[in-house]
């Protein structure tokens, strides 16, 4: 029974590290990766990146060969500096998500923030 409990805790810890990896203070290395949905049609690829609390001017989006890179920062709320943090489940700090694209050439057509999600439309070229 105890071994099962330890195994569950170890799995939970491994999943937590997968999505939220604490980094050294002021490091530019990503500390978390936002979840992503990819939807492909005949002429385009739709990518939705969950980024609640992230402003458009805090985002960088680029295509590097066959990889889409979405990076940015979600700052801690200003009020938290003078507060005692009792629980911190929402990741803050620098994030980066690298998304392998399907075979082909893509160009970013549209980019917008909608209801806390970055919505990208990539047009297939050639």
Compute the distance between CA of residue 105 and CA of residue 29 in angstroms, rounded to an integer: 28
Distance of CA 76 to the CA centre of its chain: 16
Compute the distance between CA of residue 25 and CA of residue 46 in angstroms, rounded to an integer: 34
pLDDT at 22: 47
Q: What tokens were used for 37?
A: 């949905």
pLDDT at 6: 65
Query: Which residues, 6 or more positions from 30, have their beta carbon under 8 angstroms from its beta carbon?
Result: 21, 23, 71, 94, 95, 96
At 81, phi and psi to the nearest 5?
Answer: -65, -35
Q: Which CATH architecture has domain 2-125?
A: Sandwich (2.60)
pLDDT at 86: 85
Domain ranges across the chain: 2-125
Tens-digit pLDDT string for the chain (126 aa): 777 776 777 776 666 555 555 444 445 677 899 999 999 999 999 999 999 999 999 999 999 999 999 999 998 887 766 788 888 888 889 999 999 999 999 999 999 999 999 999 999 987
């Amino acid at each position: 029974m105890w071994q099962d409990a330890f195994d569950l805790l170890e799995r939970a810890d491994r999943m937590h590290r997968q999505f939220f990896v604490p980094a050294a203070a002021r490091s530019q290395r990503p500390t978390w990766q936002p979840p992503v949905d990819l939807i492909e049609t005949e002429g385009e690829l739709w990518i939705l990146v969950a980024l609640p609390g992230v402003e458009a001017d805090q985002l960088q989006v680029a295509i590097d060969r066959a990889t889409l890179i979405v990076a940015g920062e979600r700052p801690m709320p200003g009020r938290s500096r003078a507060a005692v943090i009792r629980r911190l489940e929402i990741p803050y700090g620098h994030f980066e998500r690298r998304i392998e694209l399907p075979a082909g050439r893509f160009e970013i057509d549209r980019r917008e923030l909608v209801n806390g999600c970055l919505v990208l439309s990539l047009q297939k070229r050639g």
